[in-house]
Amino acid sequence: MAVHDLELDLGALLERNPALQIPRDEYNINVTSNEGGRLTPAELTDEIAAFPGAGQPAHLYFHLPLCNYICHFCNYVKRLVPRGKEDSSLRLWQDLLIEESRRWLDRFGWVSGARIDSFYIGGGTAALLLNSADTITPLVEHVRRHYQLTDGAEFNIEGNPENFTRDNLALARDLGFNRFSLGVQSLQDEVNEFTKRRHTAEESLSAVRNLLDTGCPFNVDMMFGLPYQTPESVRADLTAFTELGVPTITIYRLRNADRAEMGIGNRAVWNNPAVRDRLIQQGYFPDLTATYAMRQAAVEVLLDHDYYPSPCGWWSRPGTYEGGNIPQTSKNKWEHYDTMIAHGPGAYGWLTGDGAEFVQTHNDTDISGYVRYMQTQPDLPLAYGRRLDGHKAIGTALGFNFKANQPIVLDRYKRQFGADLLETEPFASAFADLIDRKLVEVIDGGAALKPTLDGEALHEEIIYHYFHQRISLSDAPVCRR
């Protein structure tokens, strides 16, 4: 779809696609499938042990669940750093993450032989680890010593503006970090104050300038649909970042999803029905018309400055990354759906490879329970797993591929699953509908499919409705190679 054919009005686009209308407070979905046969920790351990992952590409993730403050919209696994105990808390989590990693390495021989193309420390506020070389260095040295890192592997760490000082970034660069993720959300101080983010606009801009000076790619996370935001303020925020030359800007609509209910997070303050209903009654949340206008303002600025989304929602300047202008982490996790080895409380990953069946791994989301288990038990802190096969496996792979906003290569699905996406049900009718609605286009002479910019705008809804529902839950005969 050409840019001039893009429907910038998200409300109008949803009116043309009523099946994709999902209210803000009912949006309990994720690209990760919530379907599939459930596995006990013992069954999951056996699956991990039997997985032939040596020599295969993989992504490595460590989750640090600590924050200096809790944002009221945040539904990830996190807790406050105990006051006056930051150093000891960070040392504890450094030890716990290394220990969980060591248990995987000791039990599963393939882990040390997997080809790690990308490494990411998330949270929480992962960049708290940069406050001291004593807490971050042992973790990085463990990874370099025990995992098979590919040449030029992408090393990522995420944090807030106050974490990315010049000294902290110098330490990160010395340790080999070559990509960063900065959570800003808004340059309006009243927005950040209301959501309980403790940084100012000037601190955010200072962090951006520090990151630009590293010469490394990084993304700035921005939200729209928050209290006190307007289309004009969102436009001003995006203009400030594009004119500074930020390499990648991610834009997210406020979704009051209850990740605890999905088994992959904690409840946000705004997930509490009493709190949410009170804020709604008091008129703090922008209405849908204003929220859609905010996204339109953001996208207009990004297009005017030649940014393009890949993955969906991640808008990058041309030439920021090699191979489709997409970060390596996103290529591993989403475009290729490579194996993801995930450590820490609430961390979830998957075992994929070239087979037609996948296994999800889910750690305990209870932070205190995770700590007790790691300190008293010798096994892995697994909560459960899921086995995805048949249409569930194909629907999940398609959802991640779509999220990457990279070509959905038809031969890949024929080779891996025996699925002809344009001829076999339930895929053919789903993609025919998406193509007819101009949400997907055929590219490369009929060899691949790709989201249009309208499809990118509705990627979350499309993944849920078409891939998780129509395809994953279809009772059509399962494809066989």
Q: Do 320 and 400 belong to one domain?
A: no
Nearest CA to 474 among 411, 425, 406?
425
| Domain stop point among 331, 365, 400 | 331
Q: Do 85 and 195 belong to one domain?
A: yes
Q: Do 19 and 138 belong to one domain?
A: no
Residue 284 inside a domain? The answer is yes
Average confidence (pLDDT) per 10 residues, the chain, 481 residues: 72 92 63 85 98 98 95 87 91 97 98 98 96 96 98 97 98 98 96 92 97 98 95 98 98 74 69 86 90 95 97 97 96 97 97 95 96 98 96 95 98 97 96 98 98 96 92 65 40
Query: Do 323 and 23 touch, CB atoms closer than 8 A?
Result: no
Judged by DSSP in three states, 35 sits in coil
DSSP string, 215-258: T--EEEEEEES-TT--HHHHHHHHHHHHHHT-SEEEEEE-----
Residue 283 inside a domain? The answer is yes
Please report the pLDDT score of residue 293 as a whole number: 95
Q: Do 228 and 285 belong to one domain?
A: yes
Q: Do 55 and 25 belong to one domain?
A: no
DSSP string, 83-131: TT-HHHHHHHHHHHHHHHHHHHHHH-TTGGGSEEEEEEEEES-GGGGGG
| Domain stop point among 295, 310, 331 | 331
Residue 195 inside a domain? The answer is yes
| Domain stop point among 287, 306, 331 | 331
**Within 10 A of 468 (CB to CB), how many other CB atoms are there?**
23
Residue 376 inside a domain? The answer is no
Residue 105 inside a domain? The answer is yes
Q: Do 47 and 20 belong to one domain?
A: no
**Within 10 A of 75 (CB to CB), how many other CB atoms are there?**
22
Q: Do 63 and 84 belong to one domain?
A: yes
Stated as kind and residue range, the H or E segment containing 450 is strand 448-451
Please report the pLDDT score of residue 260 as a whole number: 57
Residue 353 inside a domain? The answer is no
Contacts 24+ apart (CB under 8 A), 24-28: 24/225, 24/253, 24/254, 24/255, 24/256, 24/285, 25/256, 25/276, 27/255, 27/256, 27/257, 27/460, 28/257, 28/258, 28/261, 28/262
Query: Do 359 and 385 touch, CB atoms closer than 8 A?
Result: yes
Q: Kind of pairing, strands 148-159 and 115-123?
A: parallel
Q: Do 400 and 278 belong to one domain?
A: no
Residue 363 inside a domain? The answer is no
Instruction: Give the range of the structural domain holding residue 436, as residue numbers without chain letter.
Output: 11-32+391-475
pTM of the model: 0.94
Q: Do 52 and 93 belong to one domain?
A: yes
Q: In the numeric block, which tokens belong to residue 317?
A: 């300047």
Sign of CA dihedral 373, 376, 377, 380: positive
Judged by DSSP in three states, 67 sits in strand
Query: Do 413 and 388 touch, CB atoms closer than 8 A?
Result: no
Nearest CA to 415 among 359, 476, 354?
354
Q: Do 131 and 24 belong to one domain?
A: no
Residue 360 inside a domain? The answer is no
**What backbone phi and psi angles, to 5 degrees, belong to 386?**
-135, 140
Structural domain total, the chain: 2
CA dist., res. 73 & res. 134, Å (int): 31
Q: Do 83 and 19 belong to one domain?
A: no
CATH number reported for the structural domain that contains residue 240 in this entry: 3.20.20.70
Q: Do 28 and 101 belong to one domain?
A: no
